[in-house]
Amino acid sequence: MARLVSFKMEAEVDFDPVRWLDRALISLCSKFGDYQKEAPSSFSLSPRLSIFPQFIFNLRRSQFIQVFNNSPDETAYFRMMLNRENVANAVVMIQPSLISYSFQSGPEPVLLDVSAIAGDRILLLDSYFTVVIFHGITIAQWRKAGYQHQEGHEVFAQLLQAPQEEADSIIKERFPVPRLVVCDQYGSQARFLLAKLNPSVTYDSDTPPPPGGDMIFTDDASFQVFMEHLQRLAVQ
Protein backbone atom coordinates (compact mmCIF):
# COMPACT_ATOMS: atom_id res chain seq x y z
CA MET A 1 0.00 0.00 0.00
CA ALA A 2 2.82 2.43 0.88
CA ARG A 3 4.65 1.72 -2.38
CA LEU A 4 1.46 2.04 -4.43
CA VAL A 5 0.36 5.31 -2.82
CA SER A 6 3.89 6.75 -3.22
CA PHE A 7 3.81 5.87 -6.93
CA LYS A 8 0.35 7.40 -7.36
CA MET A 9 1.48 10.63 -5.65
CA GLU A 10 4.23 11.00 -8.26
CA ALA A 11 2.28 9.77 -11.29
CA GLU A 12 -1.22 11.27 -10.86
CA VAL A 13 -2.21 14.94 -10.89
CA ASP A 14 -4.41 16.23 -8.02
CA PHE A 15 -4.15 12.89 -6.21
CA ASP A 16 -5.28 12.95 -2.56
CA PRO A 17 -3.27 10.20 -0.84
CA VAL A 18 -5.01 10.39 2.57
CA ARG A 19 -8.47 10.15 0.99
CA TRP A 20 -7.35 7.23 -1.20
CA LEU A 21 -5.87 5.36 1.79
CA ASP A 22 -8.99 5.98 3.90
CA ARG A 23 -11.27 4.66 1.15
CA ALA A 24 -9.10 1.58 0.61
CA LEU A 25 -9.05 0.83 4.36
CA ILE A 26 -12.83 1.31 4.76
CA SER A 27 -13.43 -0.95 1.75
CA LEU A 28 -11.14 -3.67 3.15
CA CYS A 29 -12.72 -3.49 6.63
CA SER A 30 -16.27 -3.65 5.28
CA LYS A 31 -15.37 -6.71 3.17
CA PHE A 32 -13.28 -8.68 5.67
CA GLY A 33 -14.51 -7.41 9.05
CA ASP A 34 -17.04 -9.21 11.27
CA TYR A 35 -19.92 -6.91 12.24
CA GLN A 36 -23.64 -6.37 12.39
CA LYS A 37 -24.88 -3.71 9.99
CA GLU A 38 -25.13 -0.20 11.50
CA ALA A 39 -23.57 -1.43 14.79
CA PRO A 40 -20.01 -0.01 15.09
CA SER A 41 -19.45 -1.63 18.51
CA SER A 42 -19.88 -5.09 16.95
CA PHE A 43 -16.99 -4.56 14.49
CA SER A 44 -13.90 -6.78 14.68
CA LEU A 45 -11.12 -7.90 12.33
CA SER A 46 -9.48 -11.32 12.23
CA PRO A 47 -6.14 -11.55 14.12
CA ARG A 48 -4.26 -11.63 10.79
CA LEU A 49 -5.65 -8.23 9.80
CA SER A 50 -6.13 -6.67 13.23
CA ILE A 51 -3.04 -4.39 13.17
CA PHE A 52 -3.47 -3.35 9.52
CA PRO A 53 -5.52 -0.21 10.43
CA GLN A 54 -2.72 0.77 12.85
CA PHE A 55 -0.16 0.63 10.04
CA ILE A 56 -2.40 2.68 7.74
CA PHE A 57 -2.86 5.26 10.55
CA ASN A 58 0.94 5.59 10.85
CA LEU A 59 1.39 5.57 7.06
CA ARG A 60 -1.01 8.56 6.79
CA ARG A 61 1.24 10.49 9.21
CA SER A 62 4.57 9.29 7.73
CA GLN A 63 7.10 11.19 5.62
CA PHE A 64 5.86 9.29 2.54
CA ILE A 65 2.44 10.99 2.68
CA GLN A 66 3.08 14.19 4.67
CA VAL A 67 5.70 15.74 2.39
CA PHE A 68 5.40 19.19 4.01
CA ASN A 69 8.64 20.17 5.81
CA ASN A 70 10.75 17.84 3.61
CA SER A 71 12.55 18.93 0.46
CA PRO A 72 11.60 17.18 -2.82
CA ASP A 73 15.04 15.53 -2.71
CA GLU A 74 14.37 14.07 0.77
CA THR A 75 10.92 12.84 -0.28
CA ALA A 76 12.39 11.16 -3.39
CA TYR A 77 15.10 9.54 -1.22
CA PHE A 78 12.54 8.23 1.31
CA ARG A 79 10.42 6.74 -1.49
CA MET A 80 13.44 5.18 -3.18
CA MET A 81 14.41 3.47 0.09
CA LEU A 82 10.83 2.27 0.60
CA ASN A 83 10.89 0.62 -2.84
CA ARG A 84 14.38 -0.81 -2.36
CA GLU A 85 14.27 -2.27 1.14
CA ASN A 86 12.62 -5.52 2.28
CA VAL A 87 9.27 -5.69 4.09
CA ALA A 88 10.81 -5.84 7.59
CA ASN A 89 12.70 -2.57 7.03
CA ALA A 90 9.77 -0.92 5.21
CA VAL A 91 7.49 -1.72 8.16
CA VAL A 92 9.92 0.11 10.50
CA MET A 93 9.86 3.14 8.16
CA ILE A 94 6.04 3.21 8.32
CA GLN A 95 5.56 2.27 11.98
CA PRO A 96 8.74 2.86 14.04
CA SER A 97 9.70 0.55 16.91
CA LEU A 98 9.77 2.01 20.43
CA ILE A 99 11.69 0.36 23.29
CA SER A 100 11.50 1.45 26.94
CA TYR A 101 14.38 1.26 29.46
CA SER A 102 13.66 1.78 33.17
CA PHE A 103 14.77 0.72 36.65
CA GLN A 104 11.65 -1.43 37.04
CA SER A 105 12.22 -3.72 34.04
CA GLY A 106 14.66 -4.59 31.26
CA PRO A 107 14.30 -3.31 27.70
CA GLU A 108 10.71 -3.86 26.56
CA PRO A 109 8.69 -2.80 23.51
CA VAL A 110 6.01 -0.20 24.27
CA LEU A 111 3.14 1.28 22.28
CA LEU A 112 3.97 4.09 19.87
CA ASP A 113 1.94 6.46 22.03
CA VAL A 114 2.57 9.65 24.02
CA SER A 115 1.52 7.69 27.14
CA ALA A 116 4.85 5.78 26.83
CA ILE A 117 6.71 8.90 28.02
CA ALA A 118 7.56 8.95 31.73
CA GLY A 119 10.05 10.96 33.79
CA ASP A 120 11.99 7.87 34.93
CA ARG A 121 12.17 6.19 31.50
CA ILE A 122 14.53 6.23 28.56
CA LEU A 123 12.89 5.57 25.17
CA LEU A 124 14.68 4.31 22.07
CA LEU A 125 12.85 5.06 18.81
CA ASP A 126 13.97 3.41 15.57
CA SER A 127 12.23 4.96 12.55
CA TYR A 128 14.83 3.55 10.10
CA PHE A 129 16.06 6.97 8.89
CA THR A 130 16.45 8.31 12.44
CA VAL A 131 17.34 6.67 15.76
CA VAL A 132 16.22 8.69 18.80
CA ILE A 133 17.35 8.23 22.43
CA PHE A 134 14.86 10.15 24.58
CA HIS A 135 15.53 10.74 28.29
CA GLY A 136 12.59 11.40 30.62
CA ILE A 137 12.84 14.61 32.65
CA THR A 138 13.95 12.88 35.91
CA ILE A 139 16.60 10.80 34.11
CA ALA A 140 17.84 13.94 32.31
CA GLN A 141 18.17 15.88 35.59
CA TRP A 142 20.11 13.02 37.24
CA ARG A 143 22.38 12.75 34.20
CA LYS A 144 23.11 16.49 34.22
CA ALA A 145 23.88 16.25 37.97
CA GLY A 146 26.49 13.58 37.12
CA TYR A 147 25.01 10.77 39.23
CA GLN A 148 26.25 8.18 36.71
CA HIS A 149 29.87 8.99 37.67
CA GLN A 150 29.27 8.69 41.43
CA GLU A 151 29.88 5.60 43.51
CA GLY A 152 26.73 3.65 44.34
CA HIS A 153 24.95 4.73 41.15
CA GLU A 154 26.30 1.99 38.87
CA VAL A 155 22.76 0.81 38.00
CA PHE A 156 21.93 4.31 36.72
CA ALA A 157 25.12 4.35 34.62
CA GLN A 158 24.11 0.98 33.12
CA LEU A 159 20.59 2.31 32.41
CA LEU A 160 22.09 5.24 30.48
CA GLN A 161 24.50 2.96 28.60
CA ALA A 162 21.99 0.26 27.49
CA PRO A 163 20.01 2.31 24.90
CA GLN A 164 23.26 3.83 23.62
CA GLU A 165 24.68 0.36 22.94
CA GLU A 166 21.46 -0.75 21.21
CA ALA A 167 21.47 2.41 19.05
CA ASP A 168 25.11 1.79 18.11
CA SER A 169 24.32 -1.79 17.02
CA ILE A 170 21.37 -0.56 14.87
CA ILE A 171 23.55 2.11 13.23
CA LYS A 172 26.41 -0.33 12.50
CA GLU A 173 24.12 -2.78 10.69
CA ARG A 174 22.23 -0.24 8.57
CA PHE A 175 23.15 1.50 5.35
CA PRO A 176 22.65 4.36 4.62
CA VAL A 177 23.56 5.22 8.20
CA PRO A 178 20.57 6.62 10.15
CA ARG A 179 20.76 9.94 11.98
CA LEU A 180 21.25 9.62 15.75
CA VAL A 181 19.35 12.10 17.94
CA VAL A 182 19.96 12.15 21.71
CA CYS A 183 17.43 14.39 23.45
CA ASP A 184 15.66 15.16 26.75
CA GLN A 185 11.98 15.56 27.59
CA TYR A 186 10.79 19.15 26.93
CA GLY A 187 13.96 19.82 24.87
CA SER A 188 13.78 21.15 21.30
CA GLN A 189 15.05 17.86 19.81
CA ALA A 190 12.24 15.92 21.51
CA ARG A 191 10.15 16.76 18.42
CA PHE A 192 11.85 13.85 16.59
CA LEU A 193 10.09 11.45 18.98
CA LEU A 194 6.83 13.38 19.50
CA ALA A 195 6.18 13.60 15.74
CA LYS A 196 5.97 9.79 15.54
CA LEU A 197 3.79 9.16 18.61
CA ASN A 198 0.03 8.64 18.66
CA PRO A 199 -1.44 11.88 20.14
CA SER A 200 -3.70 10.17 22.69
CA VAL A 201 -3.12 13.10 25.10
CA THR A 202 -3.19 16.61 23.58
CA TYR A 203 -3.69 20.16 24.86
CA ASP A 204 -7.41 19.62 24.19
CA SER A 205 -7.79 16.37 26.17
CA ASP A 206 -10.13 16.11 29.15
CA THR A 207 -7.58 14.15 31.22
CA PRO A 208 -4.16 15.75 31.80
CA PRO A 209 -1.00 13.64 31.41
CA PRO A 210 0.23 11.82 34.55
CA PRO A 211 3.13 13.37 36.55
CA GLY A 212 6.31 13.04 34.46
CA GLY A 213 4.18 12.33 31.37
CA ASP A 214 3.77 14.51 28.31
CA MET A 215 1.21 15.78 25.84
CA ILE A 216 1.33 16.62 22.12
CA PHE A 217 0.24 20.04 20.88
CA THR A 218 -1.65 18.97 17.77
CA ASP A 219 -5.12 18.92 16.25
CA ASP A 220 -4.47 15.54 14.57
CA ALA A 221 -6.90 12.76 15.44
CA SER A 222 -5.60 10.06 17.77
CA PHE A 223 -5.63 6.38 16.80
CA GLN A 224 -8.66 5.81 19.05
CA VAL A 225 -10.68 8.49 17.20
CA PHE A 226 -9.41 7.14 13.85
CA MET A 227 -10.66 3.62 14.76
CA GLU A 228 -14.05 4.95 15.93
CA HIS A 229 -14.58 6.69 12.56
CA LEU A 230 -13.36 3.61 10.68
CA GLN A 231 -15.77 1.30 12.54
CA ARG A 232 -18.68 3.67 11.95
CA LEU A 233 -18.01 3.91 8.19
CA ALA A 234 -17.16 0.20 7.69
CA VAL A 235 -20.48 -1.08 9.11
CA GLN A 236 -22.70 1.20 6.96
Is it the case that residue 210 has pLDDT exceeding 90? no
Q: Per the domain annotation, does 213 fall within a domain?
A: no
Model confidence pLDDT, tens digit, residues 142-175:
999 999 999 999 999 999 999 999 999 999 999 9
The CA angle 11-16-19, to the nearest 5 degrees, is: 135
Q: What pLDDT was estimated at residue 204?
A: 84
Which domain, by its residues, includes 24? 1-94+218-235
Model confidence pLDDT, tens digit, residues 120-143:
999 999 999 999 999 999 999 999
**Weakest-pLDDT range from 4-13, 213-222, 224-233:** 213-222
Same-domain status, 154 and 62: no
Instruction: State the DSSP string of 160-172.
Output: HHHHHHHHHHHHH
Reported confidence tier of residue 209, pLDDT bands at 50, 70, 90: confident
Same-domain status, 131 and 161: yes
Same-domain status, 62 and 81: yes
Q: Per the domain annotation, does 210 fall within a domain?
A: no
Percentage of residues of the chain with pLDDT beyond 90: 91
Same-domain status, 132 and 77: no
Q: Per the domain annotation, does 2 fall within a domain?
A: yes
Same-domain status, 105 and 191: yes
Q: What pLDDT was estimated at residue 161?
A: 96
Same-domain status, 145 and 60: no
The pTM of this model reads: 0.92
